[in-house]
Amino acid sequence: MPILTADMSAGTLTTWRKKAGDTVKRGDIIAEVETDKGLIDVEVFTGGTVEQILVQPGATVPTGTVLAIIREEPGAAPALAPTPSVPPALPSPVSATKQVAPAQAPSAAGRARVSPLARKLAADLGIDLTTLHGAGPGGVIRREDIERAAAMRAEAPVKEPRPLLDRPARLRQTIGAAMARSKREIPHYYLSATIDMHRALTWLNEENLTRSVTDRLLYGVLLIKAVALALRQVPELNSIWRGAEAVPSAGIHVGVAVSLRGGGLIAPALHDTDRQALGDLMRSFRDLVHRARSGGVKSSELSDPTITVTSLGEQGVESVFPIIYPPQVAIVGFGKIAERPWSVDGQVVSRPLIVATLAADHRVSDGHRAGLFLAAVDRLLQEPARL
Amino acid sequence: MTKMTYRDAIREGLREALRSDPRVFLMGEDVGRYGGSFKVTYRLLEEFGPERVRDTPLSESTFLGAGIGAALGGMRPIVEIMTVNFSLLALDQIVNNAATLRHMSGGQIGVPLIVRMATGGGRQLAAQHSHSLEGWFAHIPGIKIVAPATPADAKGLLLAALGDPDPVFIFEHATLYGLEGEVEDEAVPSEIGKAAVRRTGETVTLITYGGSLGKTLQAADQLAVEGIDAEVIDLRSLRPLDISTVLASVDKTHRAVIVDEGWRMCSFAAEVSAQIMEGGFYNLDAPVARVCSAEVPMPYAKHMEDAALPQAATIAQAVRQMLGAHG
Amino acid sequence: MTGEPVLDRAHGLDLLRQMVLIRRFEEKAAELYTVGKIRGFLHLYIGEEAVAVGTMQAVGPDDNIVATYREHGQALARGIPAGSLMAEMYGKATGCSGGRGGSMHFFDVSRRFYGGHAIVGGGLPIAVGLALADKLRSRAALTACFFGDGAVGEGEFHESLNLAALWKLPVLFLCENNLYAMGTGLSRHQSQTDIRRKADAYAMPADVVDGMDVLAVEAATRRAAASVRGGDGPFLLELRTYRFRAHSMADPELYRAKQEVEEWKARDPIALYIARLPEMGFLADPDLAAIESGVAAEVDEAVRFAEAGPWELVEDLTRHVYAPVTS
């Protein structure tokens, strides 16, 4: 069935002008076909004898269907057959520029981007947009962010009603009292270790390529998990000081220090940190940060940590000498990851290094054991796939 | 109801008009003896005779102008301009006469003229035979613009136009003539100025008209498999535009994508987008997106033409991008 | 270019070869269309070969040419390589218009071939402009403008003849009267069917010639061209011819009787010419065989060239919209 009109995909064979056994020459009309444009003659482009009619009058067939067989005279030009469209296949729709990085820190200065609907909803529900971090592309705050914030607020424990204005000041006071007591009562000693993060970061990049954007891991999660696993080897650092002695904790619940907008710090717990897979840990971590900043942290989360990890790497700090949160007996600090000269097999190479510090209660542990802990953290970070 | 093709539905509408109103006559190139370049007026010459089905010379400007004059003189002409590409020759008559006589006469006269045109690309007919200019025409006050996307509307909007005292321009996408659908047996006019929701959904509103409706529905089906539930609105009428149906939908879904075969710059889609912004700003969770033709005269080679026109795949991709997903 | 043709054997056989080339090229194009290699619209020149070949004898390399969508004959007679034309119909980047135009839009500016126009009558104002530029620059050349009988219905025909005559512009208006404007016969679309007489309204000299007789066409065109080159302004030459095939590949030809077609086929310009050549002592059997085989090879090579040609990159879709920016 030839293509006879601009967008023909099928035709109806209405009449045969020749029959089997007839001789045809080039240019002869062999049949009539009904198309969208009307009845059109079909010519043959080759000479010979009609051997067999394959399509009966009245039949509607797609273009390209063989209608009849013609035995050609020797030396006749070979007949052409309709072929499927030859032009290159359209490239599949090019995806938009890939999202650059996973969840970013909230923009410090400048107006947050909020969809019109989200703005209206936030106003209706009395939600403070400045406490939110949008999950939309580029940090845009959308309706789902407002709805999540509203849900979190509903879950938050019933607090004494306090005027919002007083909150930062009160928090500052509470933190100050705790820090002063800690420094007064706990004999702090400090250790530090420089850790080569090359293997960990390499593994992290590869791992993240296999994950969807929303599931990507931050390096901080590797640090937290390493700390948690290292604590299994030096459990006395995972104790709680009760009255006059340290009582080893049953579970390992790493408290993560989260800075709050408007100043202040809290360090809620990631429960059973050593038992969670990295992906789960990342999700829990994100959720915790979000709730911490929107005022949705549960009181149990604030009282459960068995050790605290604080990371000031984003602030550009090289090493941290933190103060222990009572009743914990240790606190781990991490500075920024920086490319520094490092010796590998006698050669000096550039490696991403991080300084890990441990501040510990000398009543409960000594330097030797604390050293083993930091060494364990280092070792764990050299085998990131096993975290 | 009877199942028939888009072209047959138009023919039924024309036949109904010619039968019921002696003032109606058809005029255009090859509408008579040739049977209509898209076979729409096939055999109408035999049925109604050469006084009422008139073949014209190739004089778009003059025969459309004659249609205006006949309308002023009390007739009800239905002028066929073979395609919108050729209507450019008659633009002076359309813009300076058909659209303005009522205004310039202070309301003493009207122009009850119907002009039917084939429109659109997709058949490798290159730059001079593939325009979608209905958006341009929708710019002009004084005329009405409709674009039937289904056989039912092909007949219904024609019948509605017959009852309209002002000039109505009917844009028939050239790839729709063979499309089959259910059509009322009775002469039931559709409503000019009313959009139709062709598919309900909750996640995003897809707005389109005419030849793009099929691709938009296809895109909606693709997206449904991915869990994205799209509502599809067929505008049917470009001027007047039923923005309230669109706004009610966006009120529900909070996202809008407009599919328009015209070129993107100064497209009809731009107008719809502006109206959605004006009437539904606080309901939007994302900027309104447009899927239009690329800024290029229509190339001939198939792969290039396909790349220039909106496709189901590009429509679906625009939705995915809007939702922030990838792939 | 002027005066009576010098008819020696070389020229005589060359005329035949050119007509046969057009015939076989068009037949091959028809075949390729039915298998989908050539798409969109295809308007064959079969039957009108004497017009393109005969007229081109009076047109020189410095002269401009404007033609219609049925321009394959003129393009080949102008010397545009068959491969470049075939590749264009395939949509390949090696086509004369880069694959952007297709069958209806052949352009070759190096040979002063200014298209390939799909709007009937649309090329006439362009021809007038080219002639005006030549006159202002005192460039000794004429502009040959081909159009069909359908175009004389367009306002632009009348406007163009009027302006060219008024300003005494060197336009050679060549009306290929094949008796049909698509599906409407001349007597049904023209009040004055003697097309040559229309020039009277513009005080323009005119002539008419049998378009099936290539020698007569050449002689008449040389005389007409001489008039134009002499500074007397435009000339209208009507060439009476007939297309043996339908308007385009998609035309069921309801508008003309098969018998009429057969009567004209009896005046096949190639057959008529071959019949006359022996009496002039120019043709022997080996000559015709050599011409046919040479043409067959040329057509086959054109197809190979088209098949082998690359497709334009989709990434280049929006090129050729404006002039490239030079840094």
Instruction: For C137-196, write each residue's pLDDT tens digit.
Output: 888 999 999 999 999 999 989 989 998 998 899 999 999 999 999 999 999 999 999 999
In this structure, is residue A250 part of a structural domain? yes
Q: Is A210 on the interface with B (CB under 8 A)?
A: no
The pair of three-digit structure tokens given for residue B3, joined into one six-digit string: 């199942």
Q: Rounded to an integer, what distance in angstroms lies between the CA atom of residue B116 and that of residue B22?
A: 19
The H or E element that residue B12 is part of is helix B6-20
Q: Rounded to an integer, what distance in angstroms lies between the CA atom of residue A10 and that of residue C6?
A: 52
Looking at CA atoms only, how far is residue A88 from chain B in angstroms?
7
Does domain B196-321 fall under CATH 1.10.10.10? My reply is no
> Which residue among B39, B123, B326 places its CB closest to the CB of A95?
B326
Q: With CB atoms and an 8 Å threshold, state whether A96 touches B124.
A: no
Average pLDDT score over residue span C263-275: 96
Q: CATH number, domain at A42?
A: 2.40.50.100
Pinpoint the alpha helices (H) of chain C.
Answer: 9-34, 49-56, 72-77, 82-90, 124-136, 155-166, 186-189, 214-227, 258-265, 269-280, 285-308
In this structure, is residue C327 part of a structural domain? no
* All chains having 3 or more CB pairs closer than 8 angstroms to chain C: A, B
Q: Rounded to an integer, what distance in angstroms lies between the CA atom of residue B53 and that of residue B41?
A: 9
Average pLDDT score over residue span A244-266: 84
So what's the pLDDT on residue A155? 66
A→C interface, C-beta within 8 Å: 2-6, 8, 27, 35, 37-40, 43, 45, 63-64, 80-88, 90-91
Q: Least CA distance to B59: which residue of chain C?
A: C154
Q: Identity (one letter) of the amino acid at B51?
A: E
Q: Rounded to an integer, what distance in angstroms lies between the CA atom of residue B139 and that of residue B144?
A: 10
Range of the domain at A140: 116-153
In this structure, is residue A158 part of a structural domain? no
Contacts of A87 in chain B (CB under 8 A): 301-304
**Statement: residue A87 has pLDDT above 70:** no
Q: CATH number, domain at A224?
A: 3.30.559.10
Q: Which of A36, A37, A117, A120 to mutate to test the interface with B (most CBs of B within 10 A)?
A: A117
Pinpoint the alpha helices (H) of A65-215.
Answer: 116-125, 143-155, 167-185, 198-209
Cβ(C211)–Cβ(C217) below 8 Å? yes
Is B12 an annotated catalytic residue?
no
Q: Is B178 on the interface with A (CB under 8 A)?
A: yes
Identify the three-state secondary structure at position B322.
helix
In this structure, is residue A91 part of a structural domain? no
Q: Rounded to an integer, what distance in angstroms lies between the CA atom of residue C94 and that of residue C91?
A: 8
pLDDT interval class at A261 (50, 70, 90): confident
In this structure, is residue A172 part of a structural domain? no
Catalytic annotation, pick one of B12, B29, B60, B80: B60
In this structure, is residue A89 part of a structural domain? no
> What percent helix, strand, coil does chain C show, rounded to 5?
50, 10, 40
**What amino acid positions of A are annotated as catalytic residues?**
362, 366
* Spatial CA neighbour of B190 closest among B221, B146, B142, B220: B146
Q: How many CB atoms are located within 10 Å of the residue C54 CB?
A: 30
Cβ(B268)–Cβ(B139) below 8 Å? no
Q: Are A218 and A294 found together in one domain?
A: yes
Q: Are A67 and A194 found together in one domain?
A: no
Residues 6+ apart with CB under 8 A from A211: A217, A279
Q: Least CA distance to B317: which residue of chain A?
A: A93
Contacts of A85 in chain B (CB under 8 A): 302
pLDDT by residue, tens only, chain B of 327 residues: 999 999 999 999 999 999 999 999 999 999 999 999 999 999 999 999 998 999 998 888 888 988 888 888 788 999 999 999 999 999 988 998 899 888 877 777 788 999 999 999 999 999 999 999 999 999 999 999 999 999 999 999 999 999 999 999 999 999 999 999 999 998 889 999 999 999 999 999 999 999 999 999 999 999 999 999 999 999 999 999 999 999 999 999 999 999 999 999 999 999 999 999 999 887 888 999 999 999 999 999 999 999 999 999 999 999 999 998 532
Q: Are A296 and A197 found together in one domain?
A: yes
Pairing of strands A338-344, A258-259: unpaired
Q: With CB atoms and an 8 Å threshold, state whether B284 touches A117.
A: yes
In this structure, is residue C238 part of a structural domain? yes
So what's the pLDDT on residue B37? 93
Looking at CA atoms only, how far is residue B54 from chain A in angstroms?
20
Q: With CB atoms and an 8 Å threshold, state whether A88 touches C314.
A: yes
Looking at CA atoms only, how far is residue C106 from chain A in angstroms?
19
So what's the pLDDT on residue A108? 37
Q: With CB atoms and an 8 Å threshold, state whether C99 touches B299.
A: yes
* Candidate from A256-265, B145-154, B291-300, C294-303 with smallest mean pLDDT: A256-265
Average pLDDT score over residue span A78-83: 61
Q: Which of B58, B61, B309, B314 to mutate to test the interface with C (most CBs of C within 10 A)?
A: B58
Residues 105-124 of chain C whose Cβ lies under 8 A from any Cβ of chain B: 105, 117-122
B169: Cα separation from own chain's centroid = 8
Mean of pLDDT over chain C: 92
* All chains having 3 or more CB pairs closer than 8 angstroms to chain A: B, C
Q: Identity (one letter) of the amino acid at A271?
A: H
Contacts of A213 in chain B (CB under 8 A): 326
Q: With CB atoms and an 8 Å threshold, state whether C119 touches B128.
A: yes
Q: With CB atoms and an 8 Å threshold, state whether A142 touches B39.
A: no
Query: Cα-Cα-Cα-Cα dihedral of B156, B157, B160, B164, to 10°?
Result: -170
Q: Rounded to an integer, what distance in angstroms lies between the CA atom of residue B170 and that of residue B119?
A: 10
Q: Are A202 and A290 found together in one domain?
A: yes
Cβ(C90)–Cβ(C33) below 8 Å? no
Cβ(C144)–Cβ(C55) below 8 Å? yes
Looking at CA atoms only, how far is residue A264 from chain B in angstroms?
33
* Spatial CA neighbour of C185 closest among C217, C153, C146, C145: C153
**Statement: residue C3 has pLDDT above 90:** no
Q: Are A231 and A373 found together in one domain?
A: yes
Q: Rounded to an integer, what distance in angstroms lies between the CA atom of residue A218 and that of residue A204?
A: 8
pLDDT interval class at A95 (50, 70, 90): very low
Cβ(A208)–Cβ(A217) below 8 Å? yes
The pair of three-digit structure tokens given for residue A40, joined into one six-digit string: 């059109």
* Candidate from A61-70, A209-218, B23-32, C7-16 with smallest mean pLDDT: A209-218
> Which residue among A6, A92, A120 places its CB closest to the CB of B123?
A6
Q: With CB atoms and an 8 Å threshold, state whether B304 touches C99.
A: yes
* Spatial CA neighbour of C160 closest among C189, C208, C202: C202
* Spatial CA neighbour of C277 closest among C215, C224, C222, C195: C215
Q: With CB atoms and an 8 Å threshold, state whether C155 touches B297.
A: no
Catalytic annotation, pick one of B129, B172, B231, B271: B129
Looking at CA atoms only, how far is residue A150 from chain B in angstroms?
18
So what's the pLDDT on residue A173? 72
> Which residue among C31, C37, C254 places its CB closest to the CB of A45?
C31
Biggest distance spanned by C-alpha atoms of chain A = 115
Q: Are A64 and A209 found together in one domain?
A: no
In this structure, is residue A169 part of a structural domain? no
In this structure, is residue C29 part of a structural domain? yes
Q: Rounded to an integer, what distance in angstroms lies between the CA atom of residue B299 and that of residue C318?
A: 10
Looking at CA atoms only, how far is residue A129 from chain B in angstroms?
16
So what's the pLDDT on residue A160? 52
Specify burial of residue C4 (Cβ count, 10 A radius: 0-12, 13-18, 19+).
exposed
Q: Is B214 on the interface with A (CB under 8 A)?
A: no
Q: Rounded to an integer, what distance in angstroms lies between the CA atom of residue C11 and that of residue C141?
A: 23
| Domain boundary pick from A99, A126, A153 | A153
Q: With CB atoms and an 8 Å threshold, state whether C36 touches A37.
A: no
Q: Rounded to an integer, what distance in angstroms lies between the CA atom of residue A284 and that of residue C148?
A: 78
pLDDT interval class at C299 (50, 70, 90): very high
So what's the pLDDT on residue A298? 76
Q: With CB atoms and an 8 Å threshold, state whether C182 touches B125.
A: no
Q: How many CB atoms are located within 10 Å of the residue C321 CB?
A: 10
Contacts B–C by Cβ distance under 8 A: 119
Q: Least CA distance to A34: which residue of chain C?
A: C252
Q: With CB atoms and an 8 Å threshold, state whether C252 touches A40.
A: yes
Contacts of C246 in chain A (CB under 8 A): 40
* Spatial CA neighbour of A138 closest among A110, A116, A109, A112: A112
CATH of B2-183, one of 3.30.413.10, 3.40.50.970, 3.30.230.10, 3.40.50.300: 3.40.50.970
Q: Is C317 on the interface with B (CB under 8 A)?
A: yes
**Better-predicted residue by pLDDT, A266 or A308:** A308
Relative orientation angle of helices C155-166 and C124-136, to the nearest 10 degrees: 10
Contacts of C254 in chain B (CB under 8 A): 33-35
Q: CATH number, domain at A128?
A: 4.10.320.10
Q: How many CB atoms are located within 10 Å of the residue B130 CB?
A: 27
Domain ranges of chain B: 2-183, 196-321
Residue with tokens 């070759």: C108
User: Domain count of chain A?
Assistant: 3
Peptide bond before C125: cis, by omega within 30 degrees of 0?
no
Q: Least CA distance to C31: which residue of chain A?
A: A45
Q: What angle do CA C243, C249, C255 make, to 5 degrees?
A: 60
pLDDT tens-digit profile of A185-238?
899 999 999 999 999 999 999 999 888 888 889 999 999 999 999 999 999 999
So what's the pLDDT on residue B282? 79
Biggest distance spanned by C-alpha atoms of chain B = 61
Q: Identity (one letter) of the amino acid at B261?
A: E
The length of chain A in residues reads 387
Q: Identity (one letter) of the amino acid at C172?
A: L
Q: Rounded to an integer, what distance in angstroms lies between the CA atom of residue C57 and that of residue C223?
A: 11
Q: How many CB atoms are located within 10 Å of the residue B42 CB?
A: 17
Between the alpha carbon of residue A256 and those of residues A153, A179, A264, A269, the distances in Å are: 21, 16, 14, 6
Average pLDDT score over residue span C287-309: 96
In eight-state DSSP terms, residue B74 is T
**Better-predicted residue by pLDDT, C280 or A227:** A227
Contacts of C311 in chain A (CB under 8 A): 87-88
The pair of three-digit structure tokens given for residue A201, joined into one six-digit string: 């970061």
Same fold, B2-183 and B196-321: yes
So what's the pLDDT on residue A77? 57
Q: CATH number, domain at C137?
A: 3.40.50.970
Read off the pTM.
0.66
> Which residue among B38, B178, B303 places its CB closest to the CB of A90?
B303
Q: Is B314 on the interface with A (CB under 8 A)?
A: yes
pLDDT interval class at C115 (50, 70, 90): confident
**Statement: residue A111 has pLDDT above 70:** no
Residues 6+ apart with CB under 8 A from C285: none
pLDDT tens-digit profile of A304-361?
889 999 988 778 889 988 999 888 999 999 999 999 999 999 999 999 999 999 999 9
So what's the pLDDT on residue A50? 92
**Statement: residue C228 has pLDDT above 90:** yes
* Sign of the dihedral defined by the CA atoms of residues B76, B80, B86, B87, in that order: positive
Range of the domain at C177: 9-316
